[in-house]
Structures are given as C-alpha cells and as structure tokens.
Chain A
Amino acid sequence: MDKEYVGFAALPNQLHRKSVKKGFDFTLMVAGESGLGKSTLINSLFLTNLYEDRQVPEASARLTQTLTIERRGVEIEEGGIKVKLTLVDTPGFGDSVDCSDCWLPVVRFIEEQFEQYLRDESGLNRKNIQDSRVHCCLYFISPFGRGLRPLDVAFLRAVHEKVNIIPVIGKADALMPKETQALKQKIREQLKEEEINIYQFPDCDSDEDEDFKRQDAEMKESIPFAVVGSCEVVRDGTRPVRGRRYSWGTVEVENPHHCDFLNLRRMLVQTHLQDLKEVTHDLLYEGYRARCLQSLARPGARDRASRSKLSRQSATEIPLPMLPLADTEKLIREKDEELRRMQEMLEKMQAQMQQSQAQGEQSDAL
C-alpha cells in the first residue's frame, strides 16, 4: 500500500541546488615555521600556483621581522561548483630568535573575523553577510623535531578553541616509515597531554558498508597527516606522476604508501569542507559569541548567558557590542521569534512523519 508522501525528502536537493548557485566560501589558514613545504602543499592540494611571485626574505632581514598575516584569494571551479577559497598565510611565524608571543597576531586575526561576523549578524541588513571566519587551520609540524616543539604547543593552545586545527607533518619524505609512525604517535600523545583539541573528523554513519568504515578508521588513524607536496610532474618509468625526483628514487605525492597526501585531500577537500564550516559556526563561533557577550553582561544576567549556547532568550537583557540599546532589543526579539517559528515547523514536520509512519503500520496490519 502506498504510504502518504509529503515530499520534503527533496529538501537536500533543493539545498544543493541553492548552494551550487550561491557558490561556496572557504577560508583556510596555513601556519607553521618557514621551510616546511606549506606553499608547495597548498599548490598541490588545490592545483593552483598561488605562491608564484613569492619572495622569501633572507635571514638577516628576518632578524627584526614581525609576524604578518597575508590573505590570498582564488576561485576554483570544478563540476559546476564554484569555490571561493581564501588562504591565510602567516609568514614570519617561528622565524625570529625570540618568538615569544608571536602567535598573538594570529589569535587576534581569528577573533577579528568572529567579531566582524558577530557585528554583521546583529546588523540590520543581513542578506549578504560575508563569512571571512577562518574555517580551518592546517598546522605544519617539522619532521626534523622529536614531536611538538615548545612553540608548536604554545601556538596550538592559543588557537585550539578558536579554529579547527588539522595537524600535518610537512616534508614527510624526510622520514622512514618507522620514524613516521613513531613521530605521529609522539605527537598524538603530546596533543593529549597538553589537552589540545584538534578537529575531530565525524564518525561515519552506522549504515555505511564495512569497507568504507575501515577506510574511514584508517584515515583517522593516520592523523597527523604526513604529507609531501609537489607541483612538478616527473616521468617515473611508465607514467607521469606528481612527485619529487631524488637520485635514489622518486617520491610520488599521490601514492598512499609514500605519504598521506591523498588522505588529507580526501578528508579536507572532498568530504569535510562543509563540516568544517559548520563546526566553525556552531561550536567555535558560538563559543566566541558567548564569551564575548558574557564579558559585556551585567552581573545578574551572566548565569543565564552561560546556560545554553543556542538559547538566545537570555540575550534580552544583554547589550550587543557597538549597537544602540533600542535597536538591540528589537533585533533580539525578532531573532527569538524566528527561532520559535523554526522550532514549531520542526515539531510539525516530526509529527507528520510520525503520523504517516503510524498510518503505514496500521494499513500493513490490516
């Protein structure tokens, strides 16, 4: 017997079509000391030549250089989908003799993007909010060290609650397989010890097949990813491959036995771009927002603000930064209305689903 069919199962397709039309924004930060192959890896990941005209200053010039934040934008189109990729670079990080507090400009930058978004979100015209928040930070760890260095730990602790961190080991062709395993193990232990929260790739659905689950588990096990980048194509025997040619052999970037480049690309670009954005918005940004509003709150209202990060009812008495009070209250009331409407709709949909299910069962029983 035909079940009653409402038709909102087509919702995902509609969302997909909308996002394809709108295009996709993504901001990726790359951090780590110089010389770890960051630029080469980015060029390899996105098959671009973003760093063509780059000039690396000499050591004597870098003696007094302070950390700068550089942004590069590129539009990539593939399969009809447009991605506006913004790369945030941190040249000068870890370079100086004295690197104390050299991560502060980076933290400031990330928070500024949150601040901007908070202001935009609370503004009157919210149709075209530009999302410049950093969605992901690829942090490069040196393959020459014995795990995380003091500077790595300091940086990661300063940013881990503010941005999704994906740690990678750069220039991984410096390591023999056993060394790679040992280094990864050491880094994982250190991350745990220092209580640094890196981005957690979500578990795959329970209804996926065994093969997929196994692959997924393997990929998670290989974090931090040991990567090698190259934009040069070398002819190794029969076929051309992207790699690095040495006198003793050629490292193939896309060979899973040589490095984790494919894993990184799959997990970062092919499967989790959207999740990274969502976590940035739902977890990291909300955390920032809550902290920000809390710090502005009057003493009495502080408890209510801390109760639930999604609950906005408590915001009634807390002024938003930079806006006049009257407007603020109106905005907050509008938002609350919206939230309530959305909740009602969700409940209605759930009720309908349950009803149609129950009816279906009834008719089956007959």
Chain B
Amino acid sequence: MSKGLPETRTDTAMSELVPEPRPKPAVPMKPVSINSNLLGYIGIDTIIEQMRKKTMKTGFDFNIMVVGQSGLGKSTLVNTLFKSQVSRKASSWNREEKIPKTVEIKAIGHVIEEGGVKMKLTVIDTPGFGDQINNENCWEPIEKYINEQYEKFLKEEVNIARKKRIPDTRVHCCLYFISPTGHSLRPLDLEFMKHLSKVVNIIPVIAKADTMTLEEKSEFKQRVRKELEVNGIEFYPQKEFDEDLEDKTENDKIRQESMPFAVVGSDKEYQVNGKRVLGRKTPWGIIEVENLSHCEFALLRDFVIRTHLQDLKEVTHNIHYETYRAKRLNDNGGLPPGEGLLGTVLPPVPATPCPTAE
C-alpha cells in the first residue's frame, strides 16, 4: 500500500484502455502475473497520477484526537503540526477558564489546503482528562465518542441507499500526551492506553520535552517503552499490522528507537542565524521546534503527516472499524443494526456509563 501522497507523474492519454480507478479496496487484490514478454509501454503506472488527481478533487478527511492533562501543550502542538490555528488554546491567562468537572469532547473542523490538495482536518480535544482529584474511568467518555463514530459509519454503510462518499468522522489517530516527569508513566497513562489501544491508533508523545536533557530523554523513553511492552500495550504502528518486511523494518526502527517522540510545540517565531524559526526563547537559549538536535517534533510531523497519514486511516478502517463492526454484527446475531428481519428494531449501541461528576 502506498503511504502518503504519490509522486508526480506525467499525463498519458490512455484512459479508454484503463478501467476507471475505484477507491482502494479493503483487501488488497493479489497482483496479476504480468507477461514479461509484452513490448512497449502500456501506461498502467499512470494509475498513481489518476488517483492523485481524484484525491485532489475530492480532498480527504483526517480526524486527530489529543488526550492528556491540561497544560501539556496539546493545542499548541496541533497548531504547530498543521501550521495553522486549528486548535483554540484553552488557556489565556486573563480568561476565567475553569477545568471541566467531567471529560468533555470538543471536535473542531478546519479545511487546510496545500499544493492543491484539500484536507478536512478535525481536531478532537478532550478537556478535563486527568485533571480531577479522582480520575477513575475518565477515559470512558473518550471510548464512547470513538465508538459512536464507528457506529455512525456503520449505520451509513448498512443503508440500502448509500451515500457516494460516507463522511468519515472516525478518529484516525489519538495523540496521547505523557507528562515529562523523567521517572516513568503514571498509572492513569497506563489505564488509558490499556483501554484504548485496542480501539484506536494511539501515538504516545512526551510533551514539553524541553525540560529533559539528552540523557534524561533517552532513559525516560526506554523506561516508557519497556513499561508499555510489559503491560501489553500496542501503540501505533502496531506490530501485528506490519504488512511486509519493508514495513516491518521501517516500523521496527520507529517503534524501538524513536517513539515515543519527545516534542516541543510553539506558535512563536524567533530569529536564529538569520532565519525565522518556530521556537521558545529562554534566558539560556532558544529552543528550535524543528531542529532535530533540540526535539523530535519534525520526526512526529513527518511520521503522522508525511509518511503514515494514509496508513493511519487505513488501519482505522480495515482493523479498528472492522473489529467494531464484527462485534456489533455478532451481538445482533449477524444482522446489521437498525431495522432487522420482520421489521423488528434492533437494540442500539449500549452506552458506556459516564463517569460520575466529582
């Protein structure tokens, strides 16, 4: 499967011989054996270009959720990732923003355009997570929201008259912000990731990483990776979904060395060596967000946007959604939810209980 945007190819007018490109199938077809004695150039490689043009016309959806205690720089990081004010920062020092008593889910959509490609980006914020004195089950509203989006998609899919393009509100990626304590994960981090890693792609990031020196960072990352492994938590990219050796090698390196990415976000620019850079200015130096020797923001950005964006969507659709769908159909005796046989209305999704307000 191709990852990210395909390269530009020149146009070839062979459209009548090539079947109309259908959207990528859920299960990749086995490649047809090619008669290597064919002479000349057929032009089926232009399919890439045709898909690209289609994507440019239709644009695509991407839904990213951010989870973590307040003040870990979630909104700033998302704004830095997409180089625009897509997430309204929940804090202004003069505003009277109180921490919500229960976890809220706030989804805000923006259309971003780059190189002729339109992306409908939805950022789902989860204010209140981990901020109370008692945080028992504070992940439940989040799990509920994710399942609701799967349910929405499922309902559209089982419709008799289906929309040409089902609006995709499913969460493709969940950035989980780990507090840079320098010791290890917190019990809440473990609980959240244990519950949600089977339901959504979780990408753990170490927030505000400018408080750790290089040694502290690498020690912390090692400890976090070990703890996640010991607790059986599979973060994205999950080992079991590596398709071929190429994927495995590439992802192994990311899983075992780079992740969790230690990031720093900023929406302020400073002058460094004659260039304007995004960073944080302190009395002892300027931290450059996109400088790899300062933090791993660039690695995260490349990973999420430039190389694995499409894969995130595909794993969400082919794996997480399918798991949800299979479970739903099994629960209903193999029938789709909604109107069943003999006109009986099947039970709706059982709602996960909300955590009691403090």
Contact = CB atoms under 8 A, between A and B. Distances in A.
B71 A98 contact: no
Contacts of A252: 284
Interface of B: 69-73, 91, 93, 97, 99, 131-136, 179-191, 207-208, 210-211, 213-214, 223, 227, 230-231, 280-288, 293-294, 358
A59 interface: yes
Contact of B133 (A142, A146, A154): A154
Contact of A248 (B186, B211, B285): B285
Given A150-B132, A258-B283, A144 B179 contact: yes
26 contacts: A35-B180, A36-B181, A56-B184, A58-B184, A59-B185, A59-B186, A59-B227, A60-B190, A60-B227, A60-B231, A95-B187, A97-B136, A142-B71, A144-B69, A144-B73, A144-B179, A144-B208, A145-B70, A149-B99, A173-B284, A174-B208, A246-B210, A248-B285, A249-B284, A251-B284, A255-B283
A245 B212 CA distance: 9
B93 A182 contact: yes
Interface centre among B69, B182, B230, B288 (most CB of A within 10 A): B182
Contacts of A59: 184-187, 189-190, 227
Contact of B131 (A56, A149, A171): A149
Contact of B181 (A34, A151, A176): A34
B283 A177 contact: yes
A58 B282 contact: no
Given A35-B183, A144-B207, A246-B284, 16 more contacts: A35-B179, A56-B184, A59-B184, A95-B187, A96-B187, A97-B187, A99-B135, A100-B134, A142-B71, A144-B179, A145-B69, A149-B99, A150-B131, A248-B282, A248-B287, A258-B284
Nearest to A99: B133
A58 B71 CA distance: 24
Given A97-B135, A97-B188, A99-B133, A146 B91 contact: yes
A214 interface: no
Contacts of A21: none
Contacts of A95: 186-187
Given A144-B179, A247-B294, A249-B284, A174 B211 contact: yes
Given A150-B99, A186-B93, A246 B285 contact: yes
Nearest to A232: B213
A186 B70 CA distance: 15
A77 B278 CA distance: 48
Contact of B282 (A143, A186, A249): A249
B294 to A, nearest CB: 5
A347 B183 CA distance: 59
A154 B71 CA distance: 19
A206 B262 CA distance: 51
Nearest to B186: A59
A107 to B, nearest CB: 15
A244 interface: yes
A173 B287 CA distance: 12
A179 to B, nearest CB: 9
Contacts, number: 124
Interface centre among A59, A100, A245 (most CB of B within 10 A): A59
A177 B280 CA distance: 10
A247 B293 contact: yes
A258 B210 CA distance: 15
Interface string A325-366: 000000000000000000000000000000000000000000
A264 to B, nearest CB: 18
Contacts of B73: 144
B187 A63 contact: yes
Contact of A144 (B71, B133, B186, B188): B71
A83 B73 CA distance: 42
Contacts of A274: none
B134 A99 contact: yes
Contacts of B181: 34-36
Contacts of A244: 213
Nearest to A171: B211
Contacts of A132: none
Contacts of A251: 282, 284
Nearest to B293: A247
A154 B132 CA distance: 11
A62 interface: yes
A16 interface: no
A202 to B, nearest CB: 30
A330 B211 CA distance: 61
Contact of B281 (A56, A143, A149, A176): A176
Contacts of B358: 150
B133 A150 contact: yes
Contacts of A58: 184-185, 223, 227
A101 to B, nearest CB: 9
